[in-house]
Structure 1
């Protein structure tokens, strides 16, 4: 919380707000968080309740975005699906951070054969398209929402390893690190106290962008039937359920697709804004 409060008071946050697109993205993210927290109070209907007498109905006062093939309120299901998609994005990124950051820091700091082995392993993982690798991992671990989160998190690990390793290589021979070595600080303390804190800017930017990617990949897994299972109101699964009726009841796929697009757009806009706000070259420039 101290880090968040410090960032809000910083010049970087002011530069972020001056970027209109980034500010717009931030508003969208705050809106999604608000919806996910207050979903039971916002949703007009039970997202699991079926009404077979009103299947594939268009938007109405009772069902603002219409109903799906089982007569469930699409608007309510999208609202509850916000909780799942946001959770998937942040948990997946947390997995990537927890593994990728320390491994990347160790790889860049020690170098040598250890660095060579880690980087070859990263090369192998990055040789596969991210979505394909996530599908393979889910196929091995089993279908389900939790396994989909883990799969997307594992796919993001190589990105963090490469990012942190590059940052560490440019920092590890700096004066403050040499001073820490001179006074007898251990390698672990140097890495986690004197190096990683100086890598936070690129990590924060990459994390905001990877949340968007995680939401998109998780929706793809849900669409393929490898992520959240029925009757869970997950956006990708909703797209899959409505695809058979895209000609006769396009609202069953249009609105979940728009929810995915808006969420991904919001995080991407914030990520681009953070990249500019945290760039030292932008400190004296208005965005």
Structure 2
């Protein structure tokens, strides 16, 4: 509750683009939560007599190549995309934050080893690394989430390491050492709480990136498999009809674009609110 009375919250409320992003994200959560009740049709229900129909009163966004309602599949796909985004970010946080904190706090050989491993991982483009991981682990939605989560780990390691390096020599850390506080307690109860702002901002931006990467894997056939209504997989299934029935790919593509945009607008606004020096105003 303290955040809602803080200067950062007041600054966030002034950012109209950030508010627009928040509204869209909240709407997406509501749609995902109520998907079984607001979707006009079963997303898996086929009708071979109504394939590739354009938008109409019966099917507001048309039907796909199997006669399934595109709107219903997009609504149910929101659940999958949100799940992908948050689980992937959770994996990155769970692994990257403690490793980054330990690397920055102890330094020396531990830091050198961790940073060289990070350099190796970051030498690969994110999507390429995700493709390699999925190829090794096997195709599927769960493995795609794990792969996207692994790809985000180096980002969190570097972010937290940099924050810890700027904090670990502060007086309150030296005082805790002088009092004989265990180093593990100093790291996780005294140092890391001061790194929360950049971690929160990065996580809000990373959700959108995770959704985009997972959609890319789905488009390549490495993520969610048919008949799961995942937006990237829907794009892949409809690409053969882009000239004759563009609605099959247009609307899932718009869903991906707007979702990623919403998280990016929110993340940018949160960054400006939590770190005024980064403000573009």
TM-score by length of 1: 0.96
Q: Which residue of 2 aligns with 1:155?
A: 151
TM-score by length of 2: 0.98
Post-superposition shift, 1:10? 2.4
The 5 A counterparts of 1:111-260 are: 111-260=107-256
Post-superposition shift, 1:9? 3.3
> For the residues of structure 2 that align with 1:194 and 1:147, how far apart are their CA atoms?
35
Listed one character per residue, the Cα deviations across residues 252-283 of structure 1 (whole Å, up to 9, x for unaligned) are 0000000000000000000100110001547x
Listed one character per residue, the Cα deviations across residues 151-200 of structure 1 (whole Å, up to 9, x for unaligned) are 00000000000000000000000011111111110110000000000000
Post-superposition shift, 1:11? 2.2
SS of structure 2 residue aligned to 1:50: coil
Listed one character per residue, the Cα deviations across residues 111-166 of structure 1 (whole Å, up to 9, x for unaligned) are 00010000000000000000000000000000000000000000000000000000
Contact 1:104 1:163 in 2 (8 A): yes
| Residue segments in structure 1 that go unaligned for 5+ positions in a row | none
Change (3 A) 1:273 1:175: same
> For the residues of structure 1 that align with 2:111 and 2:117, how far apart are their CA atoms?
10
Runs of 4+ with deviation above 4 angstroms: none
Q: Which residue of 2 aligns with 1:71?
A: 67
Contact 1:18 1:286 in 2 (8 A): no
Post-superposition shift, 1:286? 11
Q: Which residue of 2 aligns with 1:87?
A: 83
1:20 is the counterpart of 2:1: no
| Residue segments in structure 2 that go unaligned for 5+ positions in a row | none
Q: Which residue of 2 aligns with 1:47?
A: 43
Listed one character per residue, the Cα deviations across residues 177-231 of structure 1 (whole Å, up to 9, x for unaligned) are 1111111101100000000000000001111111110000000000000000110
> For the residues of structure 2 that align with 1:13 and 1:67, how far apart are their CA atoms?
43
Aligned-residue CA RMSD (Å): 1.2
Post-superposition shift, 1:7? 2.4
How many residues align? The count is 281
> For the residues of structure 2 that align with 1:134 and 1:8, how far apart are their CA atoms?
37
SS of structure 2 residue aligned to 1:190: helix
**Aligned mate of 2:53, from 36, 57, 61:** 57
> For the residues of structure 2 that align with 1:224 and 1:158, how far apart are their CA atoms?
24
